[in-house]
C-alpha cells in the first residue's frame, strides 16, 4: 500500500534567513495526522542564508541525521566536535543523555540546502555520540547507498534504532529496486527531481508511506539528477 504526501501538503516556515518545509509536525507547524511515521519523527527541508544558522541548543534521546544537498554546513557541539559537512556526506548525532550543538551555514556568500532528520531511538539515556562519514558521488549514482543502519557497517552511520536509511541519485531512465520485508515499512522522500515509484509519479518534496509491499521500484524521470531517500523502518 502506498500513501502519497505531496510537497505542498507539508508545513512551511519562512523566517527570511531560514526557509523550511516540514514533512511532519515541528515547531509552529502542528498536524495531528502527521506526527511522524513509525520511528521517523522529523524531515525538515532547510535552506539557510549565508552566515546564518541555528545557535547552540540542547537535544536528548534522539538520533539526528543531517544530509547536505548543496553548500556547506558548520557544526559545533558540547562533545568537542567542530566540523563542516558538504554533499555526499552523512552527519549523525546520537543525542542520548544530552548534548548541545549549533549548525550554521559554512559560507558567507552562498546558501546551504540540507535535510535535518530525527529518528526516535530504540533505547534512551545512552552516552551521546557524533560521527561524520563521506562517500564518493558514484556510490549513489543509479544505485542505493546506505547512509545509516543499526549495525556497524562500512561507510554508514550507526544509529540507535532498527532503521536503515538509503539514498540514490537516478539518471533519467535509470531504475533501482529495493526489497522490503512485508512486515516492515518504508518512507520514500524525493529530495529533488522526478521519479516513478511503483507506478506513482513523485516530484521534489513529495513522499510516500509504504506498507505491505515486497519490492520498491524507483525509476528516474526528469533531467540528470533525481535524488531520493528511502527509510526502511520496523
- Inform me whether the pLDDT recorded for 25 exceeds 90: yes
Over residues 34-47, mean pLDDT: 98
- Inform me whether the pLDDT recorded for 46 exceeds 90: yes
Grid coordinates standing for 48?
A: 539557510
- Inform me whether the pLDDT recorded for 223 exceeds 90: no
- Inform me whether the pLDDT recorded for 45 exceeds 90: yes
| pLDDT attached to residue 110 | 96
| pLDDT attached to residue 188 | 98
| pLDDT attached to residue 80 | 94
| pLDDT attached to residue 43 | 98
- Inform me whether the pLDDT recorded for 222 exceeds 90: no
pLDDT-derived band of residue 151, with 50, 70 and 90 as boundaries? very high
Return d(Cα 101, Cα 95) in angstroms, integer.
10
Entry pTM? 0.97
Q: What Cα–Cα distance (Å) separates residue 84 from each residue in 28, 79, 115, 207?
A: 28, 15, 15, 28
| pLDDT attached to residue 182 | 87
| pLDDT attached to residue 189 | 98
- Inform me whether the pLDDT recorded for 14 exceeds 90: yes
Grid coordinates standing for 17?
A: 534567513
| pLDDT attached to residue 224 | 79
178: β partners: 216
DSSP the chain: -EEEE-GGGSEEEE-SSEEEEESS-BTTB--TT-S-BTTEEEEEEEEE-TT-EEEEEEE-S-EEEEEEEES-EEEEETTS-EEEE-SSEEEEEE-TT-EEEEEEES-SSS-EEEEEEEE--SSSSPPPEEEEEE--GGGGBTS-EEEEESS--TTSEE-SSSEEEEEEEEPTT-EEEEE--TTSEEEEEEEESEEEETTEEEETT-EEEEES-SEEEEEE-SSS-EEEEEEEE-
Average of per-residue pLDDT values in the chain? 97
Return d(Cα 35, Cα 51) in angstroms, integer.
31
pLDDT in tens, 162-201: 999 999 999 999 999 999 998 999 999 999 999 999 999 9
Cell numbers 554508514: residue: 156
| pLDDT attached to residue 184 | 97
Over residues 204-232, mean pLDDT: 96
Percent of the chain with pLDDT over 70: 100
Percent of the chain with pLDDT over 90: 98
Amino acid at each position: 500500500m502506498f500513501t502519497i504526501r505531496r510537497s505542498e501538503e507539508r508545513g512551511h516556515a519562512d523566517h527570511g534567513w531560514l526557509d523550511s518545509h516540514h514533512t511532519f509536525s515541528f515547531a509552529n507547524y502542528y498536524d495531528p495526522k502527521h506526527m511522524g511515521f513509525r520511528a521517523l519523527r522529523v524531515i525538515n527541508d532547510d535552506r539557510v542564508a549565508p552566515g546564518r544558522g541555528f545557535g547552540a541548543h540542547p537535544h536528548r534521546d534522539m538520533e539526528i541525521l543531517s544530509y547536505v544537498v548543496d553548500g556547506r554546513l558548520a557544526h559545533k557541539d558540547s562533545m568537542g566536535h567542530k566540523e563542516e559537512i558538504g554533499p555526499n556526506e552523512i552527519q549523525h548525532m546520537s543525542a542520548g543523555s544530552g548534548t548541545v550543538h549549533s549548525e550554521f551555514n559554512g559560507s558567507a556568500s552562498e546558501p546551504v540546502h540540507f535535510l535535518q532528520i530525527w529518528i526516535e531511538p530504540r533505547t534512551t539515556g545512552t552516552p551521546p555520540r557524533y560521527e561524520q562519514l563521506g562517500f564518493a558521488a558514484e556510490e549513489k549514482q543509479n544505485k542505493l547507498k546506505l547512509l545509516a543502519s543499526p549495525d556497524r557497517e562500512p561507510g554508514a552511520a550507526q544509529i540507535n534504532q532498527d532503521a536503515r536509511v538509503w539514498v540514490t541519485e537516478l539518471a533519467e531512465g535509470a531504475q533501482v529496486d529495493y526489497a522490503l520485508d512485508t512486515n516492515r515499512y518504508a518512507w520514500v522522500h524525493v529530495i529533488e527531481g522526478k521519479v516513478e515509484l511503483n507506478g506513482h509519479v513523485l516530484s521534489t518534496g513529495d513522499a510516500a508511506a509504504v506498507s505491505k509491499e515486497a519490492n520498491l521500484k524507483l525509476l528516474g524521470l526528469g533531467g540528470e539528477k533525481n535524488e531520493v531517500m528511502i527509510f526502511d523502518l520496523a
